[in-house]
Structure 1
Amino acid sequence: MPSAEPQRAERWDTAPVERRVLGVVRTLTALDRLLDVLPVLADDMRVETRFAVAAGSEFAANLTDQLHRTQARVADWEQAIGKDFDLAISPSGNGPLHELEMPVLTLPHGAGHHKLRATESGVAEEVSGLSAAQLMHEGRVVPAVVGLSHPSQLIALRRDCPAAAPRAEVIGDPCFARLQASLPMREQYRAALGTGRRKLVVLASTWGPHSLFGRQGGLARDLVAALPADYQVALVLHPNIWSRHEGLQIRTWLQAALRDGLVLVPRLRKWQAALVAADVVISDHGSLSCYAAALGKPLLLAAFGTGEVVPGSPMALLGERAKRLDTTGDLRAQIDSARPVPDHQQLADLAFQDRACERLRGLIYRQLDLPEPPWPAPAAPVDLFSPG
């Protein structure tokens, strides 16, 4: 008996597409996260992914152009909200997700939900990504599934948006799983970066005035000036910094450091390789600090926006335990003496779940009403990065 016709294949398609997924992005951060998690759909020609930009973010500049540079198939919003898709995946609860005529899966766009919700005047007393302001519209819960990276986040969800709690599902963090899978190949990442036998110091900044870049904008320049030739310094800036200020301005601000050898990590999909390769990480209250600590990387904090961090969260605990960098002191001595955050494995256990890629793939296929492929869903190593 012949098999049923694919449900989504169109007249000019070659692939036997049966289901179509919409990746919803409002910022570069969301796009970076989606490109990190969508490998769970790798090799399955039954599932096609297209992307759409949900308007409204202050950090959406040139986002459509960036999607085209990744060679993604892009749908305009009016096309996206119709019935041509079977599931939408959004690494944010913000934006007009209520307009979509398909189930929506929301995911954290960082290392869990560790920041308070940003507002025009500061932060709200709600966890970003888990608040009613983000998950509800006109009294209705918008997402069909609210993805969490750890069971502890259920407490915040029940407090900030109790109506959404029955739709929560603990997935874990596929990004952290991919970083872990990449560590055995660390020397390959270091070779691609041109690190060699040098000690690689990665500076990483979240966005906003309380971030490393906001508080210590000259630290990259000071490090490359202070450290001898057997050190390499790389700078990772949050995608919101790139979106707000753009590359020309950022490189102008970093001109002296770049001239003296600073590696400026590109805005999208390359920070992961730098983190895997790093010997020491200097950061703030951004997600990269949490990933670095959980991986056991020696970590120093050069800034920390305590007022933006969810009290009692793994990030708040990291802020209490991690050693601060004294920017007026001997930078090299502090880097050489840097150690992993005390009890970093406990931090990892408090922030992440195991089998994240397996959990996420199972959830997506249940939502698509498709049997999972017969092959396993391992965490794929992150992409290599070679400075241009």
Structure 2
Amino acid sequence: MSGERAQRWDSAPVQRRILGAVRTLTALDRLLDVLPLLADDMRVETRFAVCPGSEFAANLADELRGSAANVVGWGSGEFDLAVSPSGNGPLHELDARVLTLPHGAGHHKRVATETGVAEEISGLSRQQLVHGGEVVPTAIGVSHVDRLEDLRRQCPEAVPRAAVVGDPCFARLRASMPLREHYRRALGAGDRRLVLLASTWGPESLFARRGDLAKQLVTEFPDAQVALALHPNVWTRYERLQLETWLSTARSRGLVLLPRIRAWQAALVAADVVVSDHGSLAHYAACLGKPLLLGAFGDAEVAPKSPMALLGERAARLDPHADPRPQLEGARPVPGHAELAGLTFAEDACARLRALIYDLLDLREPSWPATPEPVEVVTP
């Protein structure tokens, strides 16, 4: 572990340097929930690099720079720790300790392949964690102790590297709930019912299965505010011009198309009802106690017996052949949603994850507590 990192022309007393390994926009979105854990500590500097190899990495370096991040080339520079919200990519090439984290609401999806999905759980599979017969990550963060058994089945040699860290994104969402009216005012919901459509990516997603749903709801439910959150991979695949073209009529009638990252969190906190699929937003919505309807659900992509599979069993479905208005007005929280949250996320996520990061940095934790910051306000 290196000592002082500050150099001749630096203006901060940097002792450790972290690399954010960004493989997709989703990874960037997740890492931006980790950065607040390092707030106010000038001993730690964070830079970012695009982790090569993803189908969804187009324009990613530009997006990083647009976020005002300090961007370096992959494999360049000296770092004490690399944090990656994915087990994919050539993480073995980095000359640094590596921490992997879930890139969604826990590890609940099967590994995506060119032809569909594999049997292994994404983020916990041996093919993602092992290179040349050696476990690559120094630490593997999991959201709940039950995921250790999943890891043991798939990559037993990696179990000693695992750490239960909870989910800082869920912690921030929950901390934001008392400020719900503040987020609603910023979004312009007023006294209207706010309906959030939230879609993951791929052929089983809500957007793929019910691409006309936004237009239907803004037409038949004109006294509601309808917002659409699309998975960052959808944005990367089609880009803004194409998406706005496909959603032209819905947008002209009031649909709020949320930006590609850092906007869905505020909309979820503000929402009165959520229509989603098997993506992480559905799981966060359910665990927060939001009324939820499933407009699609890719059972084949979900790990069996996972909390997401349990969500699929419990949540009500949006009937495409019936009037959506009474269904939305009658939507209720998922039965046993508090139990579902308890099966998915360990408590004290911010404290757990910060303690792990500083341990990996071989650096004393700051004296102030690690508490979840409310999510950013979004104005259309």
TM-score normalised according to structure 1 size: 0.97
Does 2:28 align with 1:28? no
Aligned-pair CA distance for 1:37: 1.5
Partner residue, 2:64: 67
Aligned-pair CA distance for 1:6: 6.5
Partner residue, 2:93: 99
Contact 1:210 1:303 in 2 (8 A): yes
Aligned-pair CA distance for 1:38: 1.4
Partner residue, 1:386: 379
Partner residue, 1:331: 324
Runs of 4+ in 1 over 3 A off after TM superposition: none
Alignment of 1:1-388 (within 5 A): 7-80=4-77, 84-229=78-223, 231-387=224-380
Give a deviation string over 1:227-256, Cα, whole Å, max 9, x none.
Answer: 032x10000000000011111101111000
Contact 2:102 2:142 in 1 (8 A): yes
Segment of structure 1 superposing worse, 321-330 or 173-182: 321-330
Aligned-pair CA distance for 1:78: 3.4
SS in 2 for 1:217: coil
Contact 1:23 1:51 in 2 (8 A): yes
- For 2:257, give the aligned amino acid: L
Q: How far apart, in 2, do the equivalents of 1:11 and 1:221 lie?
A: 58
Q: How far apart, in 1, do the equivalents of 2:132 and 2:13 lie?
A: 38
Q: How far apart, in 1, do the equivalents of 2:3 and 2:308 lie?
A: 45
SS in 1 for 2:75: helix
Q: How far apart, in 1, do the equivalents of 2:3 and 2:95 lie?
A: 20
- For 2:27, give the aligned amino acid: A
Aligned-pair CA distance for 1:370: 0.8
SS in 1 for 2:76: helix
- For 1:361, give the aligned amino acid: R
Q: Percent identity?
A: 67
Q: How far apart, in 2, do the equivalents of 1:21 and 1:272 lie?
A: 25
Equivalenced residue count is: 379
Contact 1:6 1:17 in 2 (8 A): no
SS in 1 for 2:321: coil
Give a deviation string over 1:80-123, Cα, whole Å, max 9, x none.
Answer: 4xxx1100000000000000011000000000001000011111
Aligned-pair CA distance for 1:327: 1.9
Q: How far apart, in 2, do the equivalents of 1:180 and 1:55 lie?
A: 33
Contact 2:75 2:94 in 1 (8 A): no
Q: How far apart, in 2, do the equivalents of 1:275 and 1:180 lie?
A: 11
Q: How far apart, in 1, do the equivalents of 2:49 and 2:7 lie?
A: 19
Q: How far apart, in 2, do the equivalents of 1:53 and 1:105 lie?
A: 16
Give a deviation string over 1:113-138, Cα, whole Å, max 9, x none.
Answer: 01000011111110000001100101
Q: How far apart, in 2, do the equivalents of 1:344 and 1:119 lie?
A: 31
Give a deviation string over 1:323-382, Cα, whole Å, max 9, x none.
Answer: 000122111100000000001111000000110000000000011111111111100000
Q: How far apart, in 2, do the equivalents of 1:78 and 1:232 lie?
A: 46
- For 1:205, give the aligned amino acid: S
Contact 2:75 2:93 in 1 (8 A): no
Contact 1:21 1:48 in 2 (8 A): yes
* RMSD across aligned positions (CA): 0.9
Q: How far apart, in 1, do the equivalents of 2:34 and 2:328 lie?
A: 33
Q: How far apart, in 2, do the equivalents of 1:369 and 1:38 lie?
A: 18
Give a deviation string over 1:46-78, Cα, whole Å, max 9, x none.
Answer: 000000001100000100000000000001013
SS in 2 for 1:77: coil
Q: How far apart, in 1, do the equivalents of 2:79 and 2:106 lie?
A: 27
Contact 1:32 1:269 in 2 (8 A): yes
Q: How far apart, in 1, do the equivalents of 2:261 and 2:282 lie?
A: 17
SS in 2 for 1:104: strand
Q: How far apart, in 2, do the equivalents of 1:10 and 1:216 lie?
A: 54
Q: How far apart, in 2, do the equivalents of 1:328 and 1:258 lie?
A: 23
Q: How far apart, in 2, do the equivalents of 1:335 and 1:25 lie?
A: 37
Extract unaligned runs of 5+ from structure 2.
Answer: none
TM-score normalised according to structure 2 size: 0.99
